[in-house]
């Protein structure tokens, strides 16, 4: 069995997220998603629209996802790879090179992001629409 691991906030779920999860699942047999906790998002100066509990609930309902674990800090990745017997670590190519430190522990692959969609873009459109209403 080939075990795959990816991480993210997965807020305002969109087709880019689904494309990533589908791609990850097809690269192996078992997909684990490290989901950023609310506390970790605060540390990263990110604000999610949905709480960790709700984002986890949504991810667990996606057919490509086998397991969701909490991402509490940047430093946990090596421990997670070892603990969960990960064969392949996958992230979007905007992170290229940032996780190469995992290469001694597992294969690392950076995959292309879905063009034309991002959570930041969605949040900006929502904010612009709300400000136009006022």
d(CA 60, CA 68): 7
Catalytically active residues are 44, 46
Pair of tokens at residue 127: 């904010």
What does DSSP assign to residue 62?
S
Residue pair 64/29 in contact by the 8 Å Cβ criterion: no
Over the range 45-63, which residues count as b (16 or more CB within 10 Å of their CB) and which as e?
A: eeebebebeebbebbeebe
For the record, the structure tokens of 86 come out as 């990960």
């Amino acid at each position: 069995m080939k075990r795959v691991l990816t991480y993210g906030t997965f807020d305002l779920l969109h087709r880019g997220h689904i494309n990533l999860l589908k791609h990850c699942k097809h690269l192996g047999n078992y997909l684990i998603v490290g989901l950023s906790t609310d506390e970790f998002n605060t540390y990263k100066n990110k604000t999610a629209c949905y709480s960790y509990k709700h984002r986890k609930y949504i991810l667990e309902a996606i057919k490509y996802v086998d397991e969701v674990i909490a991402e509490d800090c940047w430093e946990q990745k090596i421990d997670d790879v070892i603990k969960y017997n990960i064969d392949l670590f996958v992230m979007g190519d905007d992170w290229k090179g940032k996780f190469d430190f995992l290469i001694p522990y597992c294969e690392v692959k950076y995959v292309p992001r879905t063009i034309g969609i991002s959570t930041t873009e969605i949040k900006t459109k929502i904010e612009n629409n709300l400000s136009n209403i006022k």
